[in-house]
A and B are shown apart, each in its own frame.
Chain A
């Protein structure tokens, strides 16, 4: 199997300016040395709490924001050094679905205009062919073509998210970054959209980078899961594996914190103390050590290496001194 997407040592730092001369006084390390690969037609779920850098990572991979360092290779092409023309061409292969279907659709455009826009931008087909493609796409996401000329305000959240997904599909991309695609939706509608995403992947072989703070949703859709904390990946493993046998103390705490809809099951909860430190001033060594229930002396001094604790066919990588 070949990797569709290869991310190596990716970094995105945001400068913090202050003082009279607006000098750079500090840096927020939103993404700090992240590496992973994603295979064609697979889903990598990215979980973490707010501010851990998961959304920034998604945007930097798509080159919506310029990375500070590191490489992103999509289908053999290194994206970070491409010129604007070639990058535009590459954008056909990579699309994004946003969290808030109320903010990501223009209220002044009809559904058809929104879905057709990527086709227009890339000058694909004749006008008639584009309109046929819009009808086809609406059918794929389970909407009637009759609604083509309606505006977003006429639709519910779930329907809008379907329109957002249809737009992302328009160019037959190889990779879709889905940034919290179901977080704004109600439970009963969320299941509909999750099933749609799963069906699209089966039928079209699209790779997904699925970003979410909701661990149960990520587990449901993902082949592999990566856990982020303060701009770094702390653990990656096959989805089944990471939920059955989480290794990193942060992953363990995160999983145990999810409220379980089963009153009989008294959960053995690991309640963390304190809050996530500021990414402007991350703690030295392992970023998790001030909150870690298994902290050791070495943790505050040396950053733990990312080591493989799995087998050859089931890689399970973790950045923790317990396994180094």
Chain B
């Protein structure tokens, strides 16, 4: 098997708050291959966005810091790398797409000037070459009339178009890895469908690796090859996308899948519910973090944390003492 492009081992991210230290990401490990899309799924506060930020060296510090573990990208260790080196890496090899495109674009510059900045700086193009390249990129992400759109300001574009521009900017230096944090969450369903279709197409066309962070299981099912589910800073299950949805093994994954209403299955009866709520990260139980909401809880679940284990199968793993 080929070596992974990105290899994360025992990553821990901590934040200091007024009420004490919070470990938002707790000893997580995963690999991303050079041409696959990996999904990170979970509910708010589970640590999925912090994981994405940590990969890019963007955890706000203070209050946060990487408290341990390693992030290897193309054989190079990123944890502890000086900011200047991280910055070149971020523009060129790893790109990021954020949830809200308006915050990623500068409102006082045209999209053209923002795009050519990146192209001239990292690809060393002249002004004229950069402009031509930017027009081409806008066309690649499906923007109509790119030669006129390039001179418009972000506020003149719709939400879907802005997100396409952000994706075009992310693509501009032929990155090896794109980290997309909820890229379609702020968009309407019909626009979301357009953008998702584009993302899948581009990932295949450019042979990039992609990490897609989302709370939407539907989005994961339609775009990712593999995914892992996070709960309270830990990975609870990791699997191929088909397996994850057809045979979820962790009670949390199974519960999540049962609790979403699906279009076309109209039954006006109660949805399956995961009782209770996510525990406070400041007061985590000593054992499995899902234990007090879990229908399969046993005595030892409350004593120690089950490790992510798949026996002989390295592709599918679950952190549970009594998985499905």
Give the interface of A toward B (CB within 8 A): 49-50, 156, 158-159, 186-192, 194-195, 198-199, 213, 215-217, 219-221, 223, 239-240, 243-244, 253-264, 267, 269, 271-272, 274-276
Assess the A263–B277 pair: CB atoms within 8 A: no
Could you tell me how many residues of chain B have their Cβ less than 8 Å away from some Cβ of chain A? 47
* Contact A259 to B264, CB < 8 A, known contacts A195-B270, A269-B193: no
Q: What's the Cα separation between A219 and B262 when bound, in Å?
A: 8
Q: B278 contacts which chain A residues (CB < 8 A)?
A: 156, 186
Assess the A272–B194 pair: CB atoms within 8 A: yes
B142 to chain A, nearest CB (A): 9
Assess the A219–B194 pair: CB atoms within 8 A: no
Query: B69 at the A/B interface (Cβ < 8 Å)?
Result: no
Q: What's the Cα separation between A264 and B243 when bound, in Å?
A: 10
Q: What's the Cα separation between A215 and B274 when bound, in Å?
A: 22
Q: What's the Cα separation between A199 and B194 when bound, in Å?
A: 37
Q: What's the Cα separation between A217 and B219 when bound, in Å?
A: 16
Instruction: Name B179-226 residues within 8 Å CB distance of A.
Output: 188-194, 196-197, 215-222
Assess the A215–B277 pair: CB atoms within 8 A: no
Select one of B221, B263, B270, B273 contacting A216, CB under 8 A. Answer: B263
* Contact A259 to B158, CB < 8 A, known contacts A191-B274, A264-B242: no
Assess the A186–B215 pair: CB atoms within 8 A: yes
Q: A198 contacts which chain B residues (CB < 8 A)?
A: 268, 270
Assess the A261–B257 pair: CB atoms within 8 A: yes
7 chain-A/chain-B pairs, Cβ below 8 angstroms: A49-B188, A49-B189, A50-B188, A192-B273, A217-B261, A219-B266, A220-B267
Assess the A261–B262 pair: CB atoms within 8 A: yes
Assess the A258–B263 pair: CB atoms within 8 A: yes
Q: B197 contacts which chain A residues (CB < 8 A)?
A: 269, 271
Q: What's the Cα separation between A258 and B218 when bound, in Å?
A: 8
B148 to chain A, nearest CB (A): 15
Q: What's the Cα separation between A198 and B245 when bound, in Å?
A: 27
Q: A275 contacts which chain B residues (CB < 8 A)?
A: 158, 160-161, 191
Select one of A187, A244, A261, A272 contacting B221, CB under 8 A. Answer: A261
Q: What's the Cα separation between A195 and B273 when bound, in Å?
A: 9
Q: What's the Cα separation between A264 and B245 when bound, in Å?
A: 9
Assess the A260–B218 pair: CB atoms within 8 A: yes
Q: B189 contacts which chain A residues (CB < 8 A)?
A: 49, 213, 215, 254, 257-258
Assess the A188–B261 pair: CB atoms within 8 A: no
A159 to chain B, nearest CB (A): 8
Query: B256 at the A/B interface (Cβ < 8 Å)?
Result: yes
Q: What's the Cα separation between A261 and B255 when bound, in Å?
A: 13
Assess the B262–A195 pair: CB atoms within 8 A: no
Q: What's the Cα separation between A194 and B270 when bound, in Å?
A: 8
* Contact A190 to B257, CB < 8 A, known contacts A198-B268, A260-B222, A275-B158: no
Q: B259 contacts which chain A residues (CB < 8 A)?
A: 187-188, 190-191
Q: What's the Cα separation between A260 and B257 when bound, in Å?
A: 11
* Contact A194 to B43, CB < 8 A, known contacts A257-B190, A259-B221, A263-B242: no
Q: Mark B237-253, 1 if CB is under 8 A from A, else 0.
A: 00001100110000000
Query: B44 at the A/B interface (Cβ < 8 Å)?
Result: yes
When C-beta atoms are compared, the residue in chain B nearest to A48 turns out to be B188
Assess the B277–A189 pair: CB atoms within 8 A: yes
Assess the B268–A187 pair: CB atoms within 8 A: no
Assess the B263–A255 pair: CB atoms within 8 A: yes
When C-beta atoms are compared, the residue in chain B nearest to A242 turns out to be B266
Query: B282 at the A/B interface (Cβ < 8 Å)?
Result: no
A264 to chain B, nearest CB (A): 7
Assess the A187–B43 pair: CB atoms within 8 A: yes
Q: What's the Cα separation between A264 and B257 when bound, in Å?
A: 15
Query: B272 at the A/B interface (Cβ < 8 Å)?
Result: yes
When C-beta atoms are compared, the residue in chain A nearest to B231 turns out to be A188
Assess the B270–A259 pair: CB atoms within 8 A: no
* Contact A254 to B190, CB < 8 A, known contacts A219-B266, A261-B217, A261-B260: yes
The 7 A-B residue pairs whose C-beta atoms are closest, nearest first, are A259-B218, A220-B261, A257-B193, A49-B188, A191-B259, A186-B43, A188-B274
Q: What's the Cα separation between A264 and B191 when bound, in Å?
A: 23
Q: What's the Cα separation between A187 and B217 when bound, in Å?
A: 10
Q: A267 contacts which chain B residues (CB < 8 A)?
A: 222
* Contact A195 to B266, CB < 8 A, known contacts A260-B221, A271-B193: no
Q: B275 contacts which chain A residues (CB < 8 A)?
A: 192
Assess the A271–B194 pair: CB atoms within 8 A: yes
